[in-house]
């Protein structure tokens, strides 16, 4: 099958470009990008299971002009197309897709920021792309995932939901997830709703992902041989930052402590007042990321 050429758009008013490329199985995939200096690694942002590139808009704006930043829409999310086979919503497909992205976007070296499941994908990248990885930021995720948090996340994936207005969606999210972000105002929840949802042709507000991403979770659980601790250990020698939400039910302080035992140079930061996962816009998270980048890729270096 001959696929069309990859494509990039001129920057929009906010300085963001859109890029599209093709997976091996013919799925049109999307990324968002802010340009930056070519002499520093690209910051590659991998969102959580049901999330998309818009989660990293504020981060990209903060780093504008200092780093090139690419935020990914994994297949079935955001502007990326939905595959015919829902059982391609697995790590192997995502890793193959990222390999295509590296070629389409000309990424040789990257600092990977992985939120939640995106962080697990960052660890799995070490099997095929470790040489490209200049550093890693793991946002509220580690080699061990707490069973209770995993059950909660699995229960949320694939649920149908639609609302008549953005305000209805925001209030529903506030009611269901208020303990994760207890200090958020209604305007914060509105912004959240607009990151995770879209306006359907029917005029209703719906989730901005293919609900079939839940299909692989419904299969009998099979050990695919992923040793996340071994993958984490391969990051020795690279700068690594671990962020943890204070109220996280996915990453525990004990797991972070074990991570630091494996990688003594690991930088560990707890983000107060939030659960799973920090948005990276919290002052503590933003300062930690800024300090992490400045220490190894600051102007003076």
Give the sign of the dihedral formed by CA 151, CA 157, CA 158, CA 159. Answer: positive
For the CA atoms of 65, 297, 42, 78, what is the dihedral angle to 10 degrees? -70
Give the distance, in angstroms, between the CA of residue 207 and the centroid of all CA atoms in the same chain.
Answer: 17
Residue-level pLDDT at 254: 97
Q: Give the contacts of 219 (CB within 8 A, at least 6 positions apart).
A: 87
Q: Spell out the per-residue pLDDT of the chain, length 301, in tens.
A: 455 667 777 777 678 999 999 999 999 999 999 999 999 999 999 999 999 999 999 999 999 999 999 999 999 999 999 999 999 999 999 999 999 999 999 999 999 999 999 999 999 999 999 999 999 999 999 999 999 998 898 888 877 789 999 999 999 999 999 999 999 999 999 999 999 999 999 999 999 999 999 998 777 654 455 799 999 999 999 999 999 999 999 999 999 999 999 999 999 999 999 999 999 999 999 999 999 999 999 765 4
Question: What's domain 7-156+226-297's architecture?
Answer: 3-Layer(aba) Sandwich (3.40)
pLDDT of residue 301: 46
Kindly state the tokens that stand for 121: 């994908």
Provide the residue ranges of all domains of the chain, joining segments of one domain with +.
Answer: 7-156+226-297
Task: Please give the distance of CA 219 from its chain centroid, rounded to a whole number.
Answer: 24
Tokens (6 digits) for 198? 């879209």
């Amino acid at each position: 099958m001959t696929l069309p050429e990859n494509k990039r758009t001129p920057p929009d008013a906010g300085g963001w470009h859109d890029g599209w490329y093709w997976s091996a199985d013919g799925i049109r995939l999307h990324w968002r990008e802010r340009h930056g200096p070519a002499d520093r690694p690209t910051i590659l942002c991998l969102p959580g299971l049901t999330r998309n590139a818009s989660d990293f808009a504020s981060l990209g704006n903060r780093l504008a002009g200092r780093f090139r930043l690419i935020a990914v829409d994994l297949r079935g999310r955001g502007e990326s197309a939905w595959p015919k086979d829902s059982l391609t919503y697995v790590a192997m497909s995502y890793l193959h897709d990222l390999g295509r992205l590296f070629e389409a976007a000309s990424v040789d070296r990257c600092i990977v920021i992985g939120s939640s499941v995106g962080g697990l994908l960052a660890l799995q990248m070490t099997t095929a792309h470790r040489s490209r990885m200049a550093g890693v930021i793991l946002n509220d995720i580690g080699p061990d995932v707490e069973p209770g948090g995993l059950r909660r996340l699995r229960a949320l994936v694939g649920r149908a939901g639609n609302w008549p207005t953005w305000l209805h969606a925001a209030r529903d999210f506030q009611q269901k997830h208020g303990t994760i972000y207890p200090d958020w105002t209604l305007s914060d929840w509105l912004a959240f709703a607009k990151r995770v949802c879209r306006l359907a042709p029917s005029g209703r507000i719906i989730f901005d992902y293919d609900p079939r991403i839940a299909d692989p979770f419904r299969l009998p659980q099979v050990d695919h041989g992923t040793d996340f601790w071994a993958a984490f250990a391969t990051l020795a020698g690279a700068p690594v930052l671990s962020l943890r939400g204070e109220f996280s039910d996915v990453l525990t302080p004990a797991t972070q402590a074990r991570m630091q035992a494996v990688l003594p140079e690991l930088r560990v930061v707890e983000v107060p007042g939030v659960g799973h996962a920090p948005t990276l816009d919290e002052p503590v998270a933003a300062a930690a990321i800024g300090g992490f980048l400045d220490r190894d890729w600051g102007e003076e270096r």
